Amino acid sequence: MSLVLFFIAFSVEARGVYQTPEDFLAETFEQDVPKSKVIWIKGDLRKVITDILGHKYQGLRIRYWQKQQRTAWILDEIGKEEPITFGIVINADKIERVKVLAFRESRGSEIRHRAFTQQFKDIGLQEMKLDRHIDGVSGATMSVSAMTAVATLALYLATLTS
Amino acid sequence: MNGMLRSWHRSIGIIITLFVLILSVTGILLNHTEDWELDQHHLTWPWLLDHYGLSNVEADVAYSLNDKVITQFDDEVFVNDNPVTTNLNQIIGGITIDDITILASTNELLLISPDGEFIEKMSASAGVPEQIQNIGLFHGEPVLQTRNGMWRSDYMLEDWEKISLQGVSWSIQSTVPSDIQKQLDSHFYGEGVSIERFVLDLHNGHILNGIGVWLLDVVAVLLILISVSGLWMWSRSGK
């Protein structure tokens, strides 16, 4: 019984909003958040994004925040059934930081831990893929795939902003 | 004794005739489901759809904007009968500016293109005021009523100034036209009830939910009784 209660408690605790996009941006840009810009997803760009994500992106434009060569992206991607909200910072074509801002699935929330996300630090893009291997998390395969896909997408989109 | 048994046998026979006919006909149909493609054809009789709970799909909210009907079912947002995006909060209003449909929910604005495609969600991180209560138009410009007052912007929706205005035409809900309602019903529940499903449920009694199963149990007992009584009378008649 106590084991069941433990898992229920763990499951409930795993879902939630860990940081609002506003707080993530304020933290990233040290309270001086630049005005947002947008990239319209049209033509070939739509095809490239579809290839990166493995499915059509839901939306016609993606918003980002830029200060010099640093860009911040707030991107949603489905883990298994529910969207996971990621905050990603790209600095000089390398990932500076990836953070799970909101997790709504019942499983796979382990990807939010720093021990996992720090693997992404300083990763770049090579032939439309991450230039370094990411170790998976047992039981969180789809969440890991979602994070890998949005990290790749943010790296690619950042190349379009310079 | 034999006379009474014969009378019972006859009464039971009359009672179960209809059920034997139904079981026989539906049994034959089920034997040929694939040959006659009964799983490919559907019934759309209104009473049947009602019975199966496949009618009256009711949108949580509906707005008529820019010659389109916007509805929300739980967290799914539709333009006419096309699901375009998900939104955890309920839409509380909508306006149209330059052919772009702008829907408001508590903390976001959802933008829909003239072709009915989802463009983007804009929230506080894009400068949109939070705790939205309604959206409206004032001389062609978007206005938001929030818990913290009234805000006005331009078509870019990125810079909002706090104001106090009279005469804003606030968004109001509309009803879903019958043609769109039919398309939404079809989206949620397909083409109706397949003939195979209907025949199977007639055969196993599930068409009458729990009572149907018990009714068929009674019919089965009566069939056993009529068989035994028939055999009994046949065996006695030879002596």
The string of DSSP letters for B119-161 reads: EEEE-GGGTPPSSEEEEEEETTEEEEEETTEEEE--TT----E
d(CA B124, CA B155): 16
Nearest CB partner across the interface for A63, out of B113, B117, B126: B126
Per-residue pLDDT, A6: 39
Which helix (DSSP H) or strand (DSSP E) does residue B163 occupy? strand B161-163
Which residues of chain A are within 8 Å of residue B123 when distances are taken between CB atoms? 21-22
Encoded tokens for A90: 């790209």
Which parts of chain B sit beneath pLDDT 70? Answer: 1, 238-239
DSSP string, B182-230: HHHHHHHHTTSEEHHHHHHHHHHSGGGHHHHHHHHHHHHHHHHHHHHHH
- B213 near B206, Cβ under 8 Å? yes
Per-residue pLDDT, A4: 39
Per-residue pLDDT, A5: 39
CA distance A75 to chain B (A): 11
- ipTM for the predicted complex comes to 0.83
Model-wide pTM > 0.80: no
| Interface touch B120/A58, C-beta < 8 Å | no
Which residues of chain A are within 8 Å of residue B125 when distances are taken between CB atoms? 21-22, 25, 33, 36, 63, 65, 74
Cα angle for residues A42, A44, A45 (degrees, 5° grid)? 60
Nearest CB partner across the interface for A58, out of B85, B113, B123: B85
Cα angle for residues B211, B10, B218 (degrees, 5° grid)? 15
CA distance B21 to chain A (A): 47
Number of domains in chain A: 1
| Interface touch B120/A22, C-beta < 8 Å | no
Angle in degrees, 0-180, between the axes of helices B2-31 and B195-204, rounded to the nearest 10 = 160
CATH of B61-188, one of 1.10.730.10, 3.20.20.60, 3.40.50.970, 2.130.10.10: 2.130.10.10
List, for residues B204-230, the tens digit of each pLDDT value.
Answer: 888 887 788 888 889 999 999 999 988
List, for residues B132-143, the tens digit of each pLDDT value.
Answer: 999 999 999 999
Overall average pLDDT of the A122-141 stretch: 94
Contacts of B74 (CB under 8 A, 6+ apart): B60
Higher per-residue pLDDT: B161 or A8 = B161
Nearest CB partner across the interface for B120, out of A25, A59, A83: A59
| Interface touch B123/A36, C-beta < 8 Å | no
Is residue A92 predicted with pLDDT exceeding 70? yes
Which residues of chain B are within 8 Å of residue A66 when distances are taken between CB atoms? none
d(CA A27, CA A50): 30
Nearest CB partner across the interface for A74, out of B85, B119, B125: B125
Nearest CB partner across the interface for A58, out of B118, B126, B158: B118
User: What type of residue is B154?
Assistant: D
Beta bridge partners of B65: B68
Which residues of chain B are within 8 Å of residue A65 when distances are taken between CB atoms? 125
Q: CB-based contact (8 Å) between B39 and chain A? A: no
Q: Can you give the residue range of the structural domain that contains A111?
A: 2-159
Domain-wise residue ranges, chain B: 2-54+192-237, 61-188
Per-residue pLDDT, A3: 36
